[in-house]
Chains A and B, each alone.
Chain A
Amino acid sequence: TQLLEQSPQFLSIQEGENLTVYCNSSSVFSSLQWYRQEPGEGPVLLVTVVTGGEVKKLKRLTFQFGDARKDSSLHITAAQPGDTGLYLCAGARDAGGTSYGKLTFGQGTILTVHP
């Protein structure tokens, strides 16, 4: 069962354009983490959002956690070729009485920014 639906799966845009990646679920998450993964490397953490409605900014990247903690979005302003990569959202859920952070990953979004 896929608990996190990430969209779009592929995104190809020109330098300077804006874009948004979505991560949706019917489940409530304790936290939502966004990672970026380069080919041949492990996921690198971009941000962790914890509170419903939370908005975090990292330079040109804006992350939002839904009020109900079931969805999240990543918005990139004025994309640059250096933003090219695989973006992953991952949610952690408390598991009935035992709280731990096993992550459920979305399918990923492959972003290509053309100069």
Chain B
Amino acid sequence: NAGVMQNPRHLVRRRGQEARLRCSPMKGHSHVYWYRQLPEEGLKFMVYLQKENIIDESGMPKERFSAEFPKEGPSILRIQQVVRGDSAAYFCASSPFSKGTDTQYFGPGTRLTVL
């Protein structure tokens, strides 16, 4: 059973470009969470999605960031007009259910560098 997959593992963008990060959850998991880990900081929740629905985006910056989890295909975190402060590791996690007692399994992350 394959784990959570993320691609690309490393992404370099120039200021003003768009970054698209992809996440394929574990087989059988329909709940996806995105977290961001800034240098020298801990992981911070960004958004929680189910298929075709955004459930909680309270951790997402108000501008330039968006996320989706379509009926078919991976979940995508999109960052428009990237700035240097967006440089970070972005992790996706998935779980089979949405209860607070459920374990989340993390992918290897995408490391975004903005030049």
Q: Contact residues of A with B, CB < 8 Å?
A: 29-31, 33, 35, 40-45, 48, 50, 88, 90, 92-95, 98-108
Contact = CB atoms under 8 A, between A and B. Distances in A.
Given A42-B91, A44-B106, A105 B42 contact: yes
Interface of B: 4, 6, 31, 33, 35, 41-45, 48, 55-56, 91, 93, 95, 98-109, 111
A45 B106 CA distance: 8
24 contacts: A30-B99, A30-B100, A31-B101, A31-B102, A41-B109, A44-B106, A45-B103, A45-B105, A48-B101, A99-B100, A100-B48, A100-B56, A100-B99, A100-B100, A101-B33, A101-B98, A101-B100, A101-B104, A102-B33, A103-B43, A103-B104, A107-B41, A107-B42, A108-B42
A2 to B, nearest CB: 9
Given A31-B101, A93-B100, A102 B106 contact: no
A30 B48 CA distance: 17
A105 B106 contact: no
Contact of A94 (B43, B93, B100): B100
Given A43-B106, A100-B48, A103-B104, 16 more contacts: A40-B111, A42-B106, A44-B106, A45-B103, A88-B43, A92-B101, A92-B102, A95-B56, A98-B55, A101-B95, A101-B98, A101-B104, A103-B45, A105-B43, A105-B44, A107-B42
A44 B102 CA distance: 15
Nearest to A104: B45
B109 A42 contact: yes
B48 A102 contact: yes
A54 B11 CA distance: 41
Residue among A33, A93, A99, A100 with most chain B CB within 10 A: A100
Contacts of B98: 99-101
Contacts of B102: 31, 92, 101
Contacts of A33: 103-104
A43 B101 contact: no
A90 B31 CA distance: 17
B107 A106 contact: no
